[in-house]
Chains A and B, each alone.
Chain A
Amino acid sequence: MDQLVFKPPGSLPSSAGSASSDSDKDNELEVDTGSDEPFEESVTPPRTPTKTVPPKSPVKTTPGKRRSRTTSLSATKSAARVVTSGNRTIYTAGRPPWYNSQGELKEAFVIGLCGGSASGKTTVAKKIIEALDVQWVSVLSMDSFYKVLTKEQHEEAARNEYNFDHPDSFDFDLMVQTLRRLKYGKRVDVPIYNFQTHAREKEKKTLYGANVVIFEGIMTFCNKQLLELMDMKIFVDTDSDVRLARRLKRDITERGREIEGVLKQYHKFVKPAYDHYIAPTMVHADIIVPRGGENKIALNLIVTHVHNQLQQRGFMFRSKLANAQYEGQPLPSTLYVLENTSQVKGLHTFIRNKKTSRDEFIFYSKRLMRLLIEYALSMLPHKKVVVDTPQGIPYEGMKLDDSKVKKVCGVSILRAGETIEPALTEVLKDIRLGKILIQTNLDTGEPELHYVRLPKDIKDYHVILSDATVATGAAAMMAIRVLLDHDVQEENIMFLSLVMAAQGVHTVAYAFPKVKIISTAVDPDVNEDFHILPGIGNFGDRYFGTEL
């Protein structure tokens, strides 16, 4: 419940505010709602609720009215992320590539954060994130992984006799699995633990796309597998008097509990747990931070180290792609090009001509897209069937092989890829459509991921991924990587495009050899501005009428 996903405010104005409860149901990246909300203090559940304790914060415990946490950083940083160039506004706060030019993943940098209850772990996490100034940071909390209690245990908890401060009360297997997937860039569904029913909510919280993962909790160092996944281990060592004082203050003033109960709980469970399980794990730490979040020198050291690590992992991605040599290489066997009939050639002549009016450009590009879609659908596995006819003879025909193709959905790379959607819906009624927004950061020339929204359970689908044009293949690779991170099978992806540069074809095919690449034309070159030659110009600008 305490995963914080930091997204730059302003990166996606249209979906700001969508990080409300419905984002649990979709694979949507959380987007920060803005800067007007202060950072919330972590709501740590009372480990052993007593009978006299009123329910905790209703925000957490009312099913269906849960609120996912939105956390914002200082507003000043976000302002710099919107750049204007000419009369265009460019958002430069997407996620740069998190994989190399072979399409292989760079692992996320995992910071393990351990410390006793009320030691200031959350404050440290918050300060690290602020100082890092890196987008795409996820915070995963151990609190999400409390075990579901049996009826007896539930009663124990009600009698204040269930020990929440014991390693047995956590689901370490699930924790390891989740952290591992997150580290390898996969989408994860994090359980949402309901502290009233001591069960997991039906909905899960989706986390995807972190370059840095902060994993915090009281016993994060108690498991060997977890320790192995961490790139950096930080122990927050705060004096036990200070922790008790904080806990008293928090439980009494913020949660309305009685001092007796808090003290009883502290002595019975919290303190022994710290001494037995938490304090001894301090030996695993790379850095021990005394006094928690106030310790500026320790925080600076940590941030400097993480920055160095991230820099070592990053590289200029697109320029590397553009420089890759494919001269003289035959086009890959996974490329399928629509037959170049006189009509196809004629349609290309219309849409490539710079003098073509927008009305004609739209009309003829749509015709070409329709042919492209029909061609792509013939790539799906079909099987023979025999049907009865009104003429009384059996007819041997074909139909989609439903044992191989369960569901088909479209995913378009915004903005230009969206133009293929109408042609897709004309041919496949009721098709589900996902969207991925990728923009080029003009400062670095790198593609950046800004927004992802995909059908639920996309892993079961055959995906028709489309973009209007492909030059270097950088955006196509990023989009395919996103699909793979959502567990779509590589062989179930078809990538459609109207015009591709040979280089882009090679790049995509080399990184993802099982993806079918389907196009209506392959052009020879790309210029230094990453435009296809002879090409078609900026497809999106010509289609939507936003050219300068």
Chain B
Amino acid sequence: MEPDLIQNSVAHETQDDLGPNLIRMKITDQIKELQTVLRDKSTSRSDFIFHADRLIRLVVEEGLNQLPYTKCSVITPTGYPYDGLKYERGNCGVSIMRSGEAMEQGLRDCCRSIRIGKILIQSDEETHVAKVFYAKFPPDIHKRKVLLMYPIMNTREDGDGCKSSTGNTVIQAINVLREHEVKEHNIIILNLFTTPAAVRSVLQTFPEVKLLTSEVHPVAPNHFGTKYFGTD
């Protein structure tokens, strides 16, 4: 493990051997504080949810910046033109159950009527191989940009023992999307915390996928789902 990575997750160019498709959020003191509260084991559940929702909202806002737009000019109430831009239609969200669902509300708060698909993936108890149990998408998903939501990504060696590898979960989810003819370059993963190994594993498998995260750290806060949903 490289503890030095912790502080320097602020867009440090030297780490960018993880490839150009990894997009790191700019870390302000404020965002660092949100991450600290989520990491702290003494944080109460209600504080955890409150701060998680704030961080999710910021990740979603940043993720929307990756969507395509066109320039346009509008007239303000004072009668003057304003050169702005307009987002294109044809986006959707897909959450990977269960922890990805924690991010749905954040997306909904930004895009009121966006369509949201779901995927349920469970790991085989013995082999740790991720299996798809359920998937439901908008019918025309192959034409859309997809914001794939999953808050925590790790690989097995980094996880806490017998837990499955959530990096593999994301890979399986992208496979499902590919089966539905979603183009690889139309997929943007929205993530809160990831390990460097998980980034490598996902982006090497799908070199055209974009991955947006708030923190790359050797240890992922794997308690996220259980603490957010209160299923300790």
Contact = CB atoms under 8 A, between A and B. Distances in A.
A378 B41 CA distance: 23
Nearest to B72: A349
A400 B28 CA distance: 12
Interface stretch (B31-39, B89-97, B134-142): B31-39
B77 interface: yes
Interface of B is mostly: mixed
Contacts of B220: 391
B82 A387 contact: no
A374 B219 contact: no
A271 B158 CA distance: 93
Given A346-B86, A391-B221, A397-B33, A534 B41 contact: no
Interface string B151-179: 00000000010000000000000000000
A345 B76 contact: no
A533 B35 CA distance: 39
A540 B152 CA distance: 41
B36 A532 contact: no
A353 B6 CA distance: 43
Nearest to B1: A393
A352 B82 contact: yes
Interface string A350-371: 0011110000000100010011
Contacts of A398: 29, 32-33, 36
A217 interface: no
Contacts of A363: 112
B32 A382 contact: yes
A167 interface: no
Nearest to A401: B29
B22 interface: no
B50 interface: yes
Given A341-B65, A374-B54, A390 B32 contact: no
Contact of B30 (A342, A374, A385): A374
A387 B78 contact: no
Nearest to B73: A349
Interface stretch (B56-64, B120-128, B183-191): B56-64
A345 B219 CA distance: 36
Given A388-B42, A391-B160, A534 B69 contact: no
A152 interface: no
A361 to B, nearest CB: 11
Contacts of A346: 69, 84-87
Nearest to A356: B74
Contacts of B87: 346
B29 A382 contact: yes
A101 B204 CA distance: 61
B133 interface: no
Nearest to B77: A537
B103 to A, nearest CB: 16
Nearest to B32: A398
Given A343-B61, A346-B87, A397-B35, A378 B81 contact: no
Contacts of A353: 74-76, 82, 84
B69 A342 contact: yes
Contacts of A542: 77
Contacts of B58: 374
Interface string B1-44: 10100110000000000000000001011111101100111100
A391 B80 contact: no
A531 interface: yes
A355 B84 CA distance: 14
A410 B137 CA distance: 43
A426 B31 CA distance: 15
B131 interface: no
B33 A400 contact: yes
Interface string B93-115: 00000000000000001101000
B64 A354 contact: no
Given A349-B72, A378-B28, A398-B33, A343 B223 contact: no
Contacts of B31: 378
A397 B36 contact: yes
Contacts of A331: none
Contact of A349 (B61, B64, B74, B77): B74
B30 to A, nearest CB: 4
25 contacts: A339-B26, A341-B65, A352-B76, A353-B82, A353-B84, A354-B75, A355-B75, A363-B112, A374-B58, A375-B30, A378-B31, A382-B30, A387-B41, A388-B40, A395-B39, A397-B36, A397-B39, A398-B32, A398-B36, A429-B50, A531-B78, A533-B80, A534-B76, A535-B78, A542-B77
Interface of A: 339, 341-343, 345-346, 348-349, 352-355, 363, 367, 370-371, 374-375, 377-378, 380, 382, 385, 387-391, 393, 395-400, 427, 429, 527, 531-538, 542
List 6 tightest A-B contacts by C-beta distance, closest first: A397-B36, A349-B84, A537-B77, A378-B28, A378-B30, A534-B80
Given A352-B84, A393-B219, 12 more contacts: A339-B26, A342-B65, A346-B69, A352-B76, A355-B74, A363-B112, A380-B30, A382-B29, A389-B39, A389-B41, A393-B1, A534-B80
